[in-house]
Amino acid sequence: MSKTNLHANRPLSPHLQIYKPIPTMVMSIVHRITGCALYFGTLLVAWWLIATATSEQQFDIVSMVYGSWIGLLVLLGYTWALIHHMIGGIRHLIWDTGRGLEKDTTTKMAWASLIASVLLTALVWVAVFTLR
């Protein structure tokens, strides 16, 4: 038996071009992306803390950057990523207990995590600008 015959009958591994995206799969991917985004967003928090501890001039520079429209957009994204990742972690914690693993329940939880993260992010930003 030749080597090519052994490989000719083997199935190809499925990949994203074969699978139809479903909410749980998309939320799993988004959970990983938000985890990576939080790594870089934490550098922004560190920059703010260092500027706060350094001098008023450094703090003013950071405040100017974060107060610009692009800085606010980045902070909005960081807030959403933080909240979304936390809710995704809670969802996984629930699954670790063996609950909510039915197909329709996982789909509902995926949609709920997306909706809840957007609503909570909006609530946080409304509270920040209201208290300001």
pLDDT digits (tens, 9 = 90+) for 65-91: 999 999 999 999 999 999 999 999 999
pTM reported for the whole predicted model: 0.84
Q: Let me know: does 86 contact 113? Beta carbons within 8 Å.
A: no
CA distances from 36 to 12, 15, 109 (A): 30, 22, 22
C-alpha–C-alpha distance, residues 51 and 91, integer Å: 36
Q: Let me know: does 114 contact 27? Beta carbons within 8 Å.
A: yes
Angle, helix 69-96 to helix 56-67, in steps of 10 degrees: 80
| Mean pLDDT, the chain, whole residue set | 92
3-class SS string, 85-114: HHHHHHHHHHHHCCCCCCHHHHHHHHHHHH
pLDDT at 132 over 90: no
CA 15 to chain centre: 22
In this predicted model, what pLDDT tens digit does every residue of 36-54 receive, in sequence order?
A: 999 999 999 999 999 999 9
Percent of the chain residues past pLDDT 90, beyond the cut: 83
Nearest to 83 by CA among 105, 115, 129: 115
* Four-way CATH pick for 22-131: 1.20.1730.10, 2.60.120.560, 1.20.1300.10, 1.10.10.10: 1.20.1300.10
Terminal-to-terminal C-alpha distance of the chain = 76
Rg of the chain on CA atoms, in Å: 22
